[in-house]
Amino acid sequence: MLHRREFLKLLGVSSLFSLEEKALSFNLPSKAIPVLLYHEIVYRPLNDYTVTPHQFLAQIELIKTLGFNTIFPHEAEKSILNGERAVIITFDDGSYTFLEYAYPILKEYRIKVIMNIIGSKVSKNLQMITWDEYREILDDEILEIGCHSYDLHFLGWSKRVTLREFKEDLLKFKELVWRTLKKEVSIFSSPFGEPLTEGHIEILKDLGFHYFFLSENFDENIAYYLPFSNKNIIPRININHRVGLKNFKKLILSPYM
């Protein structure tokens, strides 16, 4: 089992900065890209996985007005070589609040976004986006679907589930998304950000997954995506309502300063 710290070592990234509202300092390798992780956009109740609607809109305006391009992981290397300011925006879970608050502005600005969905929850729980709605918005060509497992969204899944069950879950997911959306999925976002073993990664690669998303809590050290050092493993920064706009700005600008 590769623990979080080991992953960070693997990525060549270590202690960066905390996103609490205090002065920031960092020592960032060049050629890094910030990858943002969102879950829900709500006014209340607020928790570690929520941002408020006006915060989210303000963050998107910052991204836009600071001249950022939003990209998908496969565009990362090219973007760095072009010297662009780039950011990858991702959502986990598929909360309906994405459609209510995020999608209108993302669509207007043609901002690329990855939504990692839990296959078994779609169209079953209406707090989530439904297949009908995914079909509607996929036509806009700014959204890429990622896998957040078919049905492994529970704490400790990485220890409790066998590799065989893991593989079956992924196959079920891929088959479902192909059947309902006619999309091949190449992104895997680990449920609850749990670390992956080499066995997990091998299965993922076998099944055609190219990018593996992890998640870093905002109050821990920040890791950026380093496509030239490690193309497949992508650490993400969990954005929640405690991340003030000034720190958010520093967070996305850090690799470019």
Partner 1 sequence: MKKLNNYFDLARLAINNGDYQEAINIYNLILSKDKKNLEGWIGLSKAFYKAGNLSASLWASYRALELSPDNGEIKEHIRVLEESLAILRKDSLGHMSKFIIKGSYIYQESKGKLQKFIVKGINIGLGLPGFFPGEYPIQKTTYLKFFQLIEDLGLNTIRIYTLHPPAFYEALYEFNKEKIRLYLIQGIWYDPPHNFNLEDPHFKLSLKKHVHNIIDAIHGNITLPERPGFPAGEYLRDISGCLLAYLFGREPEPCLVKNYNSFSKNPFKNYSGKYLFVEEGSPFEIWNAMILDEIITYSKDKYNQIPLVSVVNWPPLDPIEHYSETTIAQEAYFLFGEKVETKECIDNDDEVIFNPSQIKSYVNNLFISYHVYPYYPDFMNYSFLEESRPYYKYLEKLKACHFDIPLLIAEFGIPTSRISAHWQLQGWSHGGIDQVQQGYILKEMIEDITKAGCAGYLIFSLFDEWYKSTWFLGDFYKPRDRKPLWFNLQDPEENYGLIEIYPGYPKKIISLSGNLEEWNQAEILYFKEKITQKDFLRSLKACHDEGFLYLRIETFEKINFEKINLIIGIDTGNEEYGEFSFLFDIPLESPIGLKYLIHLAGKERSKIYVHGAYNKFLKSHFISPEKEIYPSKTNEGNWNPIIIKTNRRRVSKDFKKIYSPKFYYASNLKFGSLDKKNKYFNSLADFYFKDTSIELRLPWELLNFSDPSTQRILWLTTGTESIISNGLKVIILAYKPHEKYSPTCKEVIDFLPNPLVKEKIKTYIIEPWDYPIYHMEPKLSFYILKDFLRGQLDAP
Work out whether 99 is an interface residue with partner 1 (CB under 8 A): yes
**Residues present in the chain in total:** 257
Work out whether 257 is an interface residue with partner 1 (CB under 8 A): no
E strand spans, the chain = 35-38, 40-41, 50-51, 69-70, 86-93, 113-117, 143-147, 187-189, 211-213, 233-234, 237-238
Rounded to the nearest whole angstrom, what is the least distance from the CB of residue 205 to partner 1 in the complex?
Answer: 34
Q: Which residue has the tokens 């078994």?
A: 120
User: Rounded distance, CA 30 to CA 59, Å?
Assistant: 23
Of 3, 22, 23, 126, which lies in the binding site for partner 1, with binding defined by CB under 8 A?
126
Of 49, 72, 91, 101, which lies in the binding site for partner 1, with binding defined by CB under 8 A?
101
Q: Tell me the C-alpha to C-alpha distance, in Å, between residue 80 and each of 12, 33, 84, 88, 228.
A: 17, 8, 6, 13, 9
Work out whether 53 is an interface residue with partner 1 (CB under 8 A): yes
Given a contact cutoff of 8 angstroms between Cβ atoms, the answer to whether 97 and 125 are in contact is no
User: Rounded distance, CA 168 to CA 205, Å?
Assistant: 14
Site size toward partner 1 (CB under 8 A) is 35
Rounded to the nearest whole angstrom, what is the least distance from the CB of residue 173 to partner 1 in the complex?
Answer: 21
Of 28, 46, 58, 181, which lies in the binding site for partner 1, with binding defined by CB under 8 A?
58
Rounded to the nearest whole angstrom, what is the least distance from the CB of residue 186 to partner 1 in the complex?
Answer: 25
Task: Give the interface segment with partner 1, choosing from 70-78, 96-104, 145-153, 205-213 (CB under 8 A).
Answer: 96-104
Task: Give the interface segment with partner 1, choosing from 50-58, 177-185, 198-206, 208-216 (CB under 8 A).
Answer: 50-58
- Whose CA is closest to 39, among 187, 215, 254, 245? 215
Of 10, 28, 31, 85, which lies in the binding site for partner 1, with binding defined by CB under 8 A?
85
Given a contact cutoff of 8 angstroms between Cβ atoms, the answer to whether 227 and 80 are in contact is yes
Q: Which stretches of the chain bind partner 1, using CB under 8 A? A: 43-44, 53-55, 57-58, 61-62, 65-68, 83-85, 96-97, 99-101, 104-105, 108, 123, 126, 130, 132-133, 136-137, 244-246, 249
